[in-house]
Structure 1
Amino acid sequence: MQIIIDIGNTDAVFGLYNQTSWLYVWRTPARREETAESYEARLRLWLLEAGTPLSSVSHTVLSSVVPDLTPTMRTMLTELFGAEPVVVGPGVYPLLPLEILRPHEIGADLVANALAAYTRYRRNCVVVDFGTALTFTTVSGEGKILGVAIAPGLKTAIRSLFANTAQLPEVPIEVPTSALGLSTTHAIQSGVVLGYEGLIRSLVERIRTELNGDCIAVATGGLSGQIPSLRDVFAEVIPSLTLEGVRLIGESVRGAN
């Protein structure tokens, strides 16, 4: 068994993998003030509910874009399982079958997305990750990360309006019945949710044009299914793609040692 952890700016995602498939995926808020003991108690409970003894976990891999939480989670995994986790970062990138430009600038989650897409498709692919940030990571069929585009995520955009205006509420991420904005809630949903549909379609199309039309798109992230009308843009919608990439990074590191 393997425990794979992907810490984002909003959530920490834990996956339990049994060498062939994902058995469980758990999601919890990524709170910088939480202690290693707090996360350990949560993981122990999840494993107990899953009927998985600690002794059955042979490998752990950690990816984090929250520097304050990385040592906390690293300590928790080391103390709980008795061995250091593989930690995704520039130090392990030379062991991957990827060409990574500016390895000290790119997020670990984006490298994981690129590796998962390259391993799965072996062709030009743009991974659209619906997280705290909306990211577009393009990887070639030869395994070169060609570039990344970044925009505020859906929730980030809505919360920004709520935080920076006096009269606009925080609203759920739902597709409104009309683009006209027939209420305050629908007005925000029209501008953000429908507006982001146009943003995503346009940017994916521009990326494809720069690659002479030879590029598929795949969606991932916790909000990847929130705009159903985008399904025709994507070859697949795989919410656990980032976790899969983190797992594959762990395999590459262990295979090189």
Structure 2
Amino acid sequence: MLLAVDVGNTDTVFGLSQSGDWEYIWRMRSLVQENESHYESRLRLHFLEAGLWFGDVETVVLSSVVPAMTPVIQRMLRSMFGDDIIVVGPDIFPELSIAIDHPHEIGADLIANAVAVITRYQQNCVVVDFGTALTFTTVSKDRKILGVAIVPGLLTAVKALFANTAQLPEVPLVLPKTAIGKNTTEAIQAGILLGYEGLVKSLLQRIKDELGGECIAVATGGLSSIIETLEEEFVEIDPRLTLDGLRIIGERLSA
């Protein structure tokens, strides 16, 4: 079995794969103040409830965009599964090159996303990841990450509005029927969700134009299905894309 671990700013996701299928996916809050014992006890409980044994895990792949948590999760994984942990970085997958100014600045999750789409598609592709940040990773048909665009994620934008304004509440992420909000909740939903709809469409179109029009788009991330009106922009919406990229990396390096 292969264990993929994706440490994000909001959640840490653990995916257990066998023969290419995801048997279990578990999520934990990413808490930088916690030590490895906290995460180990939670993961041990998941294994116990699933009737699994740690020795069944042959390959462990780690992606992290939270530097403070990376050594904590590494120590936890080594304690449970041994020292041979694959940590994703810019040089981890020889078939993928990173054509940006500072390759070590790119997030490990974006590398995993790129690996997943170059394996599935042989054409220019933009991966739109709806997470804590909303990212647009452009990957060319000749297997290069050409660059990235980053904006605050949907939930991040709502929380920032709530935290920095005296009279605006935190609202659910529900797509409104109209852009003309009749109350505070509808007004925020219209501004954020319909605003992001326009943002995503505009950025995708600009990227496609810069690539000569030959480009597809794939969506991933926990909020990838929130804005239903964007579905036609994507050839696929796959919340497990990052985990699949980690699985592919792990399978190639352990073969």
TM-score normalized with structure 2 length: 0.96
Equivalence for 1:96: 94
Correspondence 1:7-46 to 2 at 5 A: 7-46=7-46
Question: Separation in 1 of the partners of 2:53 and 2:108?
Answer: 29
Question: Separation in 2 of the partners of 1:28 and 1:80?
Answer: 17
Question: Separation in 2 of the partners of 1:118 and 1:136?
Answer: 15
Equivalence for 1:72: 72
Instruction: Tell me how far 1:87 sits from its aligned partner.
Output: 0.7
Give the partner amino acid of 1:187.
Answer: A
Report the aligned-residue RMSD: 1.1
Alignment pair present for 1:184 and 2:190: no
Equivalence for 1:130: 130
What SS is found at the alignment partner of 1:244?
A: helix
Instruction: Tell me how far 1:53 sits from its aligned partner.
Output: 1.3
Question: Separation in 2 of the partners of 1:169 and 1:96?
Answer: 47
Provide the identity percentage.
58
Give the partner amino acid of 1:98.
Answer: L
Question: Separation in 2 of the partners of 1:42 and 1:122?
Answer: 39
Instruction: Tell me how far 1:82 sits from its aligned partner.
Output: 2.2
Instruction: Tell me how far 1:51 sits from its aligned partner.
Output: 2.1
Equivalence for 2:51: 51
Question: Separation in 1 of the partners of 2:73 and 2:122?
Answer: 32
Question: Separation in 2 of the partners of 1:153 and 1:34?
Answer: 24
Instruction: Tell me how far 1:253 sits from its aligned partner.
Output: 3.1
What SS is found at the alignment partner of 2:246?
A: helix
Residues 9 and 65 in structure 1, CA contact (< 8 A), matched pair in contact too: yes
Give the partner amino acid of 2:242.
Answer: T
What SS is found at the alignment partner of 2:43?
A: helix
246-255 or 81-90, which deviates more = 246-255
Equivalence for 1:246: 246
Residues 15 and 25 in structure 1, CA contact (< 8 A), matched pair in contact too: yes
Residues 115 and 245 in structure 1, CA contact (< 8 A), matched pair in contact too: yes
Give the partner amino acid of 1:49.
Answer: E
After superposition, the C-alpha distances for 1:205-256 in whole angstroms (9 at most, x for unaligned) are: 111111111100000000001111111000000000011112222233334x
Structure 2 spans left out of the alignment, 5+ residues: none
Question: Separation in 1 of the partners of 2:60 and 2:18?
Answer: 12
What SS is found at the alignment partner of 1:104?
A: helix
Question: Separation in 1 of the partners of 2:51 and 2:219?
Answer: 31
Residues 59 and 254 in structure 2, CA contact (< 8 A), matched pair in contact too: no
Instruction: Tell me how far 1:19 sits from its aligned partner.
Output: 2.4
TM-score normalized with structure 1 length: 0.95
Question: Separation in 2 of the partners of 1:246 and 1:57?
Answer: 15
Instruction: Work out the number of aligned pairs and report it.
Output: 253
After superposition, the C-alpha distances for 1:12-51 in whole angstroms (9 at most, x for unaligned) are: 0110000221111111110101111111111111112222
